[in-house]
Structure 1
Amino acid sequence: MLRFLRHGSIACCLLAGAPSFAAGTVSLCFERQEVLPWRTLDGGGLNFELLAEVARRLGLTLDYQSMPWKRCLAQVKANQVNGAFAVSFSRERLALGAYPGVKGGDGEADPARRMHVDRYVLVRRKGGKVDWDGKRFANVDGRIGFQLGYSIGDFLRARNVTVDEGSQQADELVQKMLAGRLVAAALGGGDAMRLMRSAYATQIEMLPVPLIEKPYYLLLSHAFVAQQPDLAERIWKTIEDVRTSPAYRRRERELTGHPGGGH
């Protein structure tokens, strides 16, 4: 497990005179995988820049822990870490932790307090027949793969397609697809764009219509919210404040091409 401590100094381009008062340490896990432009394994990317500025404003120290995604969510549920990022909303995940804007285990997460917006897209072998028109699948003559623990699995199952979630990495899904074990893969936008710039680019293609676009949040453990409800609310509100700040929006435009964009 990669583990490192960071204070709010990572996003130097956003900062101007950081206060030096002491406060507690908040432990956050994230998936052990680079998802550009949002995060890298060594603490780069927009997610880390946003959280660094949140930490600076609130006087927090953040303890980042990298691990497989399902383990990360399980540790939030077990209150072994204080939170996880970046987590899309689903009702099933309300049992794991708390989202901003959800009161009493009911309702929807508040999109104004998201960390970013991302999309899932369908990638197939070049010349493949499987298709997606924005409403329904066509010519699905095999399994569609997605990464273990990813919420896009619920989306696929709700549309009655046969799925495969036996892979941790996007690259594994592409390898399975090229070997004929999958007809397509449902990938996050950043993973898909990275793969389209890789050695696989001559063998795969990305369908133009996204499967789904959704906001991603900082999920906090139920124990953390119960013990420090005011701090939890301040963290979520500060995420909104930083994300909508002119400095962060400039950074987001630089790395995504547009504000509020997905990877």
Structure 2
Amino acid sequence: MSSLHGPAMRHSSLLNLLTSLLLTTAQAAPPTTVRLCYDQEDVYPWRVKGGQGLDFTLLKLLEGRVNVHFELLALPWKRCLLELGENRHDGAVAASFRPERMDVGVYPMAGGVPDASLRMRAESYSLFRLKGSPASWDGKRFIGIEGNVGAQAGYSIVEQLKAAGLNVDTGTASADDNLRKLLLGRVVALALLSSEGDASIAASPEFTARIERLYPPLTERAYYLLFSKSFYARDEALAQRMWQALPAVRDSADYKRAEAAMRQP
């Protein structure tokens, strides 16, 4: 019996040893550095100065799943996208889909459209106005808007507002400063990310007393990890692994806990 099983056992032991060595080598491989730019303005609860927010939580969890290390650079959003198109960054954090952005980067696509299941997150835009203002939105059209509507430069909602024939003021970057502009009468309404506008209003008694959000939202969009064309050409497999890992990260217990904590009043 031993003469029959001895070689097989030795062969099995060798295979196990080789498998263990391969696994150890793979686990010891240093993470690949991926350079990402993101909008420097606070967008609560997604990004808050100091490295807090759900976008950063998601990226940290993604690092562990696909063995990458993200180098993050805060920039004005329009500059982030411009430099992405120049291949000065590997990707941009949380970019909604606009057809013209396909000239500067690569989205996760399925059937010729972005695959929303591989998004980082989803978020809506809403119209904000002074209480008692005639400015309105009925879900299909704008009503009673006589004057400029404020929006943040480089944000995808700007084109929707312009397509509706509105005059859009993009001269102010942060949500808080836009809300102050609304209080001063420099714009008659604002189009802001819903959660960010809500958080800014809740944090200021003056905003709470005088400003309201309208329903329904103007639109809801998915936000993606948008890779530069040079990075995607260089390492398509890694880009795909990152995109494919995002649903599991969003559904993970660690992310859900962070989400609940950020959304507590």
The two structures have a TM-score, normalised by structure 2, of 0.84
Percent of pairs identical after alignment? 39
Q: 2:158 pairs with 153, 156, 165, which one?
A: 153
Equivalent position of 2:98 in the other structure: 90
Distance apart, 1:102 and its partner CA: 5.9
Q: Distance in 2 between matches of 1:213 and 1:148?
A: 18
8 Å CA contact retained: 1:102, 1:108: yes
The counterpart of 1:226, out of the listed 218, 229, 233, is 233
Max Rg structure = 2
Q: Is there any run of 5+ residues in structure 2 with no aligned partner, and where?
A: 1-26
**Where does residue 16 of structure 1 map in the other structure?**
none
Q: Displacement of 1:21 after TM fit?
A: 3.2
Which of these residues, 22, 43, 63, is aligned with residue 71 of structure 2?
63
Unmatched segments (≥5 aa) in structure 1 = 1-18, 258-263
User: Partners in 1 of 2:177 and 2:254 — Cα distance?
Assistant: 37
- Tell whether the 8 Å contact from 1:20 to 1:59 is kept in structure 2 after alignment: no
Out of 193-202 and 89-98, give the one that drifted further: 193-202
Residues 197-206 or 115-124, more deviating: 197-206
The residue identity in structure 2 corresponding to 1:165 is T
State the alpha-carbon separation in 2 of the partners of residues 98 and 256 from structure 1: 31
Query: In 2, distance between residues paired with 1:133 and 1:255?
Result: 30
Contact 2:118 / 2:246 at 8 angstroms: preserved in 1?
Answer: yes
Distance in 2 (alpha carbons) for counterparts of 1:157 and 1:44: 33
Partner SS for 1:187: strand
- TM-score of the pair, normalised by structure 1: 0.84
Quick check: 177-186 or 114-123, which moved more? 177-186
Match of 1:208 among 211, 215, 238: 215
Contact 1:88–1:214 (8 Å) recurs in 2: yes
> Structure 1 residue 90: deviation in Å?
0.9
Point out the structure with the larger helix share.
2
- The residue that corresponds to 1:182 in the other structure is 187
Measured on the aligned residues, the alpha-carbon RMSD in Å equals 1.7
Partner letter of residue 148 of structure 1?
A
The residue matched to 2:196 in structure 1 has which SS?
helix
Matches within 5 A, 1:2-151: 21-101=29-109, 107-151=112-156
What is the identity, as a one-letter code, of the residue corresponding to 1:214?
A: R
Distance 1:131 1:160 in 2: 14
Residue 239 of structure 2 aligns to a residue in which SS? helix
Instruction: Report runs of 4+ in structure 1 exceeding 2 Å deviation.
Output: 244-257
Paired with 1:115 and 1:158, the residues of 2 have a C-alpha distance of 27
Matched pairs, number: 236
